[in-house]
């Protein structure tokens, strides 16, 4: 009877796992389909990101537009601009 050492058993187990993985490889059609799905997924993420940026921009634009509808908010904005432009001449509208 021959002696089997632990490092030999580990290498045999790794070899068996490698051979099992070779049998589980995808065919070229399955690989192409997976690549196609991945491409569609990345394009959809980019599209959703662009839509979110666009909606955020529209929200900011609506906030800026609606702040000047009341006279008090208009004067508040003028005062705010004059506060930040204190080193220059006052800005008048």
Quick check: is 12 in a domain? no
What does the pLDDT look like over 6-33, one tens digit per residue?
Answer: 556 667 667 767 766 666 676 778 778 8
Q: Which domain does 71 fall in, by range?
A: 37-83
Q: Is the pLDDT of residue 86 over 50?
A: yes
pTM of the model: 0.47
In this predicted structure, the answer to whether residue 71 has a pLDDT above a threshold of 60 is: yes
Structural domain includes residue 49: yes
51 part of a folded domain: yes
String of DSSP letters for the chain: -----HHHHHHHHHHHHHHHHHHTPPPHHHHHHHHHHHHHHHHHHHHHHHHHHHHHHHHHHHHHHHHTSSHHHHHHHHHHHHHHTTTSPPP--
- Quote the number of domains for the chain: 1
Report if residue 91 sits inside a domain. Answer: no
In a domain, 25, yes or no: no
Q: Dihedral, CA atoms, 78, 81, 82, 83, nearest 10 degrees?
A: 120
Q: What is the pLDDT of residues 47-65, one digit of tens each?
A: 999 999 999 889 888 877 7
Q: Please check whether residue 76 lies inside any domain of the structure.
A: yes
Q: Is residue 60 part of a domain?
A: yes
């Amino acid at each position: 009877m021959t002696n089997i050492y632990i490092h030999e058993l580990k290498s045999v187990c790794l070899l068996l796992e490698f051979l099992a993985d070779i049998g589980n490889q995808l065919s070229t059609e399955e690989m192409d389909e997976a690549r196609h799905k991945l491409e569609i997924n990345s394009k959809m993420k980019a599209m959703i990101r662009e839509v979110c940026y666009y909606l955020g921009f529209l929200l900011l634009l609506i906030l800026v537009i609606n702040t000047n509808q009341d006279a008090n908010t208009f004067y508040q904005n003028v005062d705010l601009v004059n506060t930040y432009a204190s080193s220059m001449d006052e800005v008048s509208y």
